[in-house]
Structure 1
Amino acid sequence: MVTLADCQRTQHAWFRALAEATGGRAFSTHRMDWVWLPETREMLCMFPQEITDAGLQPALAEAERRGATAVGIWMNAAVREGILPAYRFERGWQPWWMTRALDVESVVAASEVSDGRVELTCLADDQVWLATARDEENWAGRSYGFLPPNQLGGKHLAGIFDMVVDPDHRRTGLGTALLNALSEAAFNAGAEHLLLNATPDGQRLYRNRGFELIGKGQTWWFHPPQ
């Protein structure tokens, strides 16, 4: 069984891996865990159990020093925002946590519907994959798959992250093709379940591909003046 805690741990592990791969860093401030993503210039706090001045102030100072364009807090829906509005954070989008089991039948069925517009690249053996979609020579979309090592309880959960399809190429099957390519790669690497966070609009695609909603989260955002 995949839990909300599993989803949160996998999301956190993905951002830590992304920070490490792009020259960022992960750090903690008074029970608040942060990642700095230099490519997007985002400072993100991952699922704090409590939000305090002692946890926020050093991270906000670090975000200002690094020229962050956004500071985000990913939260469990049960955690209250507390002092966030006083620090000019505003409520943002709500992640819909969705999961599905991987089995031979579903993966084989998906692989039989191949789509030549999608190319799969392995970025780290049996851990990270990038699926890229092109229409002829033009970029049309991409998504990442991530199977974290050393998961709690011996679970084998892979995450699908940063799914983007160019607006001009939506409703052409590219989202499904990206998902199929990453599902097959994760299954072949030993994943037993997939998990992801969806927007209210995006969840329709995932429901059609067998994903089920197991809960919702919340994000809060502060955009420093530039």
Structure 2
Amino acid sequence: MTVTVADCERVQTSWFQLRSQVLGSGSWEDDGLTWANGDLMFPRVIDPAALARGVERARSEGASIVGAWLGLDVDPRPLAAAGFKKGWAPWWMAGPIDLGLPADPRVELRKDAPGADGRPPRAWFAAARQGGQAAGGAWAHLVDDLAGVFDVEVPEPFQRRGLGTGLMQAVCAAAASAGARQVVLNSTPAGYALYRRCGLQRIGTGITWWLHLPS
């Protein structure tokens, strides 16, 4: 199957919506704009009035920062006019879910509890430990047959020991067992080498914008 940037955006939006449910933050639709986890998710056209309502709702729910995730073909001028500043550029990456790597004994998979309706988990967390200390973590989230990987983090003292690869293998294997065929994620330049070693290819670029709300 061919994975597109639109697929990556769809999985990212689903992940943020799930986080909104778990954390109790806002997730809503308003005049063509989708908001989740306090952020504006991949609009095609940004209506200034709807944008202002979304920012105000996020403010009322206690947000200190409002983000906007965009494709490079979307006109960002309404964001700039509202005080948003251009931020980092996600590098969208995709690849086969089977990384072909051995399990790392330093990494433990912790599946989330099934929902109240009895459905199986659709998100998984892997935690790494080194020398008895917490040494990183990563999430995977299943959407149809795509697994989004999020929040891969290994603290600096534990980097360059293969823990990032072990975390990727653990969450991808869990998602594969639930039916995932491909993995997608957004990378910063710092994470790019890790994901390339895991067989992912860069398929596109996005952009983020950020508004810091006064306290």
Tell me the TM-score normalized by structure 1: 0.88
Matched position secondary structure for 1:202: helix
Tell me which of 25, 40, 56 is aligned to 1:61. 56
Contact 1:35/1:44, CA 8 A, preserved across alignment? yes
Contact 2:141/2:148, CA 8 A, preserved across alignment? yes
Residue 142 in 1 paired to residue 133 in 2? Answer: no
Runs of 4+ more than 4 Å apart: none
Matched position secondary structure for 2:165: helix
Aligned residues: 208
* Cα displacement (A) at 1:63: 1.9
Matched position secondary structure for 1:93: coil
Gaps of 5+ in 1: 37-42
Tell me the TM-score normalized by structure 2: 0.92
Contact 2:26/2:58, CA 8 A, preserved across alignment? no
Q: Partner of 2:198 in structure 1? A: 209
Contact 1:126/1:186, CA 8 A, preserved across alignment? no
In structure 1, C-alpha distance between the alignment counterparts of 2:86 and 2:180, rounded to whole Å: 33
In structure 1, C-alpha distance between the alignment counterparts of 2:33 and 2:134, rounded to whole Å: 37
Q: Partner of 2:181 in structure 1? A: 192
Percent identity reads 39
In structure 1, C-alpha distance between the alignment counterparts of 2:141 and 2:28, rounded to whole Å: 21
Q: Partner of 1:20 in structure 2? A: 21
Tell me which of 180, 192, 196 is aligned to 2:169. 180
Matched position secondary structure for 1:45: strand
Matched position secondary structure for 1:197: strand
Contact 1:30/1:54, CA 8 A, preserved across alignment? no
Q: Partner of 2:149 in structure 1? A: 160
* Cα displacement (A) at 1:2: 0.6
Contact 2:25/2:61, CA 8 A, preserved across alignment? no
Matched position secondary structure for 1:83: helix
Gaps of 5+ in 2: 115-119
* Cα displacement (A) at 1:126: 4.3
